[in-house]
Each structure stands twice: as C-alpha cells, then as structure tokens.
Amino acid sequence: MDRRYFLKSFGAACISLPYTQYGLADQHQTPFLLRAEPGETHLVGPDFPATHVWSFNGQVPGTPIRVSLGERINATLSNHLEDPTTVHWHGIRLPNDMDGVAGLTQAAVKPGEEFEYSFVPPDAGTFWYHSHVNAFEQVGRGLYGPLIIDEPDPPQVDRDLIWMIDDWRLLNDASISEDFGSGHDKSHAGRIGNVPTVNGRFRDVVQVRSGERIRLRLINASNARNFSLTFSDLAPSVIAIDGQAVTPYVATTPIIVGVAGRVDLIIDMTGEPGSRSTVVDSFYRDSFDLTAFVYEKAKPLRTEPADWPIALSPSQLPTPDLDGALTQDVIIQGGAMGGLNRAKLDGQWMDLRDIARQGLVWAINDTVAHKLDIPPLIDVTRGTSVRLIIENRTAFPHPMHLHGHHMLMISIDGKPLSTPRWVDSPLILPKQRVELAFVADNPGKWLFHCHALEHHAAGLGALVNVT
C-alpha cells in the first residue's frame, strides 16, 4: 500500500466541481433512531469503488441529531452489527449512565439488542456522537455523527454548515486498511490515514455565493489526525471552541482542530463570483488541500459584509475556585522516543518492554490504564474545584478528553491565557504544560483519556470519580 497514493494522485487540480453538495439532512423523528449497521459509501468519489463502512443509519457521518437547547434527546441505539457497540455523546454534560462508555457507565449493547438514551443537554453548541467500544476500530470504520444543540438566540447567518472531518486509511481500491490498532500506530502518532474527508467525501467542494455569511461548524472525528486549517483569503471569526462560546476573534493564525475537538466559525464569503477559496491543512510536514469553497457565478448576495453581531451568549458553566482547588499533576509519558523505561501495571512496577508485549505503551503518572476498573486518578466529592496540570513528556500530541465536564484552560507553558476558554478535548502538544480547572459537579466515574484512539487503547487514560 502506498499511504500517500490518494493525496499524491489527486492534488489540487482534482478539486473542481462538487460531486455531491456537502449536505447533511437532520433527523427529525423522536425518539431518534440510530441503527448501527454496515454500509457502503463513495468516500473517494464516483470513480472509485464504494468503501465498506460501519455506520449509523447507513451513512457516514451518521444522521445529524439536532435539537433546541432545553429539548430532551431520546435516542434508541439498535445494534445491527456483528460486534457490541454503544453511543457516547461527546462533550455533553449528561448523567453518568447515559455517557455510553462500555464497561464503565453501561454494558456494551450486543448484536441484535437495543439501548435507550435519554437526557437533556445543558449546553447549546457543536458536539458529536460516536461509538465507545473498541473506538479505534469502530470510529475508524465510520461509527460517528454530528450532534447540534441550537441556541435560542443564534447569530444571524445565511447558512449554517457542519463539516465533520475524518481521516481514513484506505488501500488503493478504496477499501479500509484492516490494520487497526497496529503496534506502530499505538506507539507513535496513532492511526494517521491517507484520505481526509469532509462529511464523508474526499476532495469534494462546497458551492457558495459571493457575499453570503456562513456559520461553519468544524468537528474532527479522526482517530488521530489533527488539523491546522487556513482559509486562503477569507478571514474566519472563531465564535466557539469545543461547543462553548468564546469572545469572537478573527483568526490570524491557522485554526487548530485537534482530534475530537470542535471549532465554530463565522465566515463572510468575500471572493468574487466564479472564483474559489481553498482550505488547506498544514498540521504535519506535508500540507494538502482539504477542500475548497467554489463561488457561484451569480452576482454577490450583498456587496458589503453583513454587520450582524456574531457573539454567542456566554457559557453557563460553573467557575472553578482556583484558590481552594485540589491540584493534580497529570504527567503523560511513554510511546516511541518517550524515554520511559518502567511503569505500573495493576500496581506493579514493570519494565516498559514487558508492558509493550501486552500492546500498552503509555502512562499517566507512571500508571498504565489497561482496563476500566483502575483506581481513580482523582476522587472528589461533588462540587470540588479541581486544577489539572497536564505535562506532555512524550514526542506526540495528545487530545485529552474529559467526560461529563468542561475544563477551563488557564495557562500554556506557564503563560496565562488572556481570556481563559472552556474545552473538553484540549490538544496538548509535545513538551507542553497546560493548566486547566473545572468544578467536579457531575456525579459518577468519568473517563479522562487521550482521544488519539490508539493511544487510549494502549493505556493512555485515567478515571475521575465524583461522589
């Protein structure tokens, strides 16, 4: 297999006309039905065979679930796969027994069985849902979809678009490479693929009208690929990160969308009719065109950009008490070139080479999380403010996802952020030291883990217990 085949062979010249418009039809029936089932989809375009995927409702991304803030989500997961599965509602502060982590918050749903999820999301914003059983394989095969909670007072735009970005490792016949969870992926950057898609399409484009204002919701559903996006001559304003409002700012540097992260943008389409604006990723050494906006030839919708306000209502999250907070160091160790020699497995110190024989290579505070019934890293009573000091002593970035809560990012490498921001999946770069804080106000045992899915499978996780 040539991992660069698709990116090399189908360069920018290939982006011309849309072969389908990136469209995602919302699901309106309630309860929402999520059939986990095999399916086929043309990820790489009509000139290639369809790719055999696992999906929610036969499509990748799965059907968007969209409700208004305050509305209850009732969703039936119906498992038509040959493997057990669950649904995790990423970024939603929901009751613990609805969190969908097999073996921790519920039993995995067996083939032929169903599970009813029911909860009222407390926050508006851009979220997603995905399998939480063997996620490195199930999410990698397509078991995910967007989850949008609409604000009562959203900023006015002409169109509200979702771009669910994924990264597939395909063979040259467009079939999925079956090497899920390989030792190399576990110990290095995770499963980095060769076919980056937007809404399940490689190198498709989106048609826009000059002058229109778009809200663009970026969701990174990749196993392990992070994105750093530029929008050529456009000047996107960031209005939310990980579903939570930020004070709007015009992005002057590339927009980082780490694994599992979300970024909401407002973009005025300022290009000329008939022109194009390319969206380029440059997170890794080789940059590539992810997609492009292609302007219709029609005359501009408006000549001056709209002057409508773009700020979202501020987040309604509990503010942590930094002075009274419990401080917890979270030292991420291991992996290739990480220099870790020994770690604890089941409380026993072991040589990392012996641990690696079990497919485990990462640790937090010297402890390898190889199963879910490990002693919690943090064990607090409800309402406790917790300050996390995460130190990445490895050679790879780690998107660290905390379930059931949002965390306030306070500082990076000792430098306080001018405006702290709420996150649920912050990307911690190699050698970085990031300070976060949250109020542990949601009772239950919650996963806190690297969302580079192969890293989690290889021991990079911990538990937070709130009683």
Burial 127-155 (b: 16+ CB within 10 A, else e): bbbbbbbbbbbbbbbbbbbbbbbeeeeeb
The reply to whether 238 sits near Cu ion by the rule CB under 5 A is no
**Amino acid residing at 432:** Q
Of 211 and 459, which has the nearer Cβ to Cu ion?
459
- Which residue lies nearer to Cu ion by CB, 203 or 455? 455
- The least CB distance from residue 192 to Cu ion, in Å, is 12
Encoded one letter per residue, x for contact with Cu ion by CB under 5 A and - for no contact, window 58-77 reads --------------------
Least distance to Cu ion from the beta carbon of 459, Å? 10
Q: Give burial (CB, 10 Å; 0-12/13-18/19+) of 336.
A: middle
Contact (CB, 8 A) for 368 and 424? no
Measured from the CB atom, the residue of 101 and 450 that comes closer to Cu ion is 450
In the complex, what is the shortest distance from the CB of residue 425 to Cu ion, in angstroms, rounded to a whole number? 11
Q: How far is the CB of 375 from Cu ion (least distance, A)?
A: 21
Question: What residues between 384 and 403 interact with Cu ion by CB under 5 A?
Answer: 398
CB of 279 to Cu ion, least distance (A): 25
Residue 239 or 332: the one with the smaller Cβ distance to Cu ion is 332
Q: Given the complex with Cu ion, which of 240 and 260 has the nearer CB atom?
A: 260
Cα atoms in the Cβ-side hemisphere of radius 13 Å centred on 160 = 15
Distance CA(13)–CA(464), nearest Å, equals 49
Binding to Cu ion (CB under 5 A) within 448-467 occurs at 450, 452, 455
Nearer CB in complex with Cu ion: 159/431: 431
Compare residues 398 and 445 and give the one whose CB is closer to Cu ion. Answer: 398
Closest of 220, 253, 247 to residue 401, by C-alpha: 220
Pattern 352-391, binding to Cu ion, x per CB under 5 A?
----------------------------------------
Residues ≥6 apart with Cβ < 8 Å to 69: 121, 123, 124, 149, 150, 151, 152
What is the three-state SS of 390-416?
EEECCCCCEEEEECCCCEEEEEECCEE
3-class DSSP state of 465: strand
Residue 395 CB, nearest approach to Cu ion (Å): 11
Contact residues: Cu ion, CB under 5 A: 398, 450, 452, 455
